Chains A and B, each alone.
Chain A
Amino acid sequence: MDIWKTFPGVVANAGVELAVRRGSIHALLGENGAGKSTLMNILAGVYRPDSGEVRIDSLPHQFRNPADALSAGVGMVHQEFRLIPSFSVAENIVLGSAPSVINNRHVESDVAEMAHKYGLKVDPGQPLWQLSMGERQKVEILKVLWRDAQVLILDEPTTVLTPSEVDELAEILRRMADDGRSIIFISHKLHEVSGICDEATVLRQGKTVAGSLEMAITDRNELARLMVGASPTVPVRPAAATPGKPLLELQNLSATGDRGVDAFSDVSFRIHSGEIVGIAGVAGNGQRELADVIAGLRPSNSGTVFMDGADITAVSPRRRFHSGLAYIPEDRLGVGLAPRLSITDNAILRVYRQQRRGPFIVAEKALSYCTDIVDRFGVRAGDLGGPIAALSGGNLQRLLVGRELDGKPSVVVASQPTRGLDVQGVKAIQDLLLDQRNSGAAVMMISEDLDELLTLTDRLLVMEGGIIRGEFDPRTASRHEIGMAMLSDSQATPQS
Chain B
Amino acid sequence: MKRPRLSLREQPLPGGQPLAFGIGLAIALFVGTLLLLGAGHDPLRIYSRMFEASLGDPDAWAITLNRAVPLGLAGLAVAIAGSMGLWNIGAEGQIMAGAIAAAWVARIGGDWPGFVLITMMLVAAVGGGGVLAIGPAVARAKLGVNEIITTLMLNEVAIRLVQWLIHGPWKDPDSFNFPLAPMLPDQARLPTLFSRAHFGLLIAVAVVIIASVAVRYTGWGYELRIAGSSESTARYSGISLPKKVLTVLVLSGAVAGLAGGVELAGTADRLTETLSNGFGFAGIIVAALALMRPSGVAAVALLFGAVQIGGQSIQTLGVSSSVSTILQAFVLFGAIGAGVFSRYHISLDSGPSSAPEEAKS
Contact = CB atoms under 8 A, between A and B. Distances in A.
B233 A317 contact: no
A61 interface: no
A30 B236 CA distance: 34
Interface stretch (B62-70, B131-139, B143-151, B213-221): B213-221
Interface in B183-240: 214, 217-220, 222, 225-226, 228-230, 232-238
A420 B358 CA distance: 8
A340 B230 CA distance: 8
Contact of B351 (A38, A64, A203, A390): A64
Contact of B219 (A48, A338, A352): A352
A345 B238 contact: no
A46 B220 CA distance: 45
A185 B354 CA distance: 23
A397 interface: no
B357 A338 contact: no
A322 to B, nearest CB: 9
A334 B361 contact: no
Is chain A's binding surface mostly helix, strand, loop or mixed?
loop
B238 A316 contact: yes
Contacts of A32: 360-361
A46 B352 contact: yes
Interface in A315-371: 316-318, 321, 327, 329, 331, 334-341, 345, 349-350, 352-353, 356, 359-361, 363
A407 interface: no
B359 A12 contact: yes
B229 A11 contact: no
Contacts of A337: 233
Most interface-central of B232, B354, B361 (chain A CB within 10 A): B361
A287 interface: no
A206 B354 CA distance: 15
A294 to B, nearest CB: 13
B361 A338 contact: no
A314 interface: no
Chain A contact-residue range equals 35 or more
B359 A13 contact: yes
A339 B352 contact: no
Interface in A153-181: none
B177 interface: no
B353 A338 contact: no
B359 A38 contact: yes
A363 B352 contact: no
Contacts of B236: 295, 297, 317, 327, 329, 335-336
Contacts of B355: 10-13, 38, 41-42, 47-49
Interface of B: 11, 214, 217-220, 222, 225-226, 228-230, 232-238, 351-361
What are the 10 closest A-B residue pairs judged by CB atoms, nearest first? A318-B238, A12-B359, A36-B361, A47-B355, A38-B359, A338-B229, A37-B361, A340-B229, A338-B233, A10-B355
Given A34-B361, A297-B235, A349-B233, 19 more contacts: A10-B355, A31-B361, A35-B361, A37-B360, A38-B356, A38-B359, A42-B355, A48-B354, A186-B361, A317-B235, A317-B236, A334-B232, A334-B233, A335-B233, A338-B229, A339-B233, A341-B229, A360-B218, A361-B222
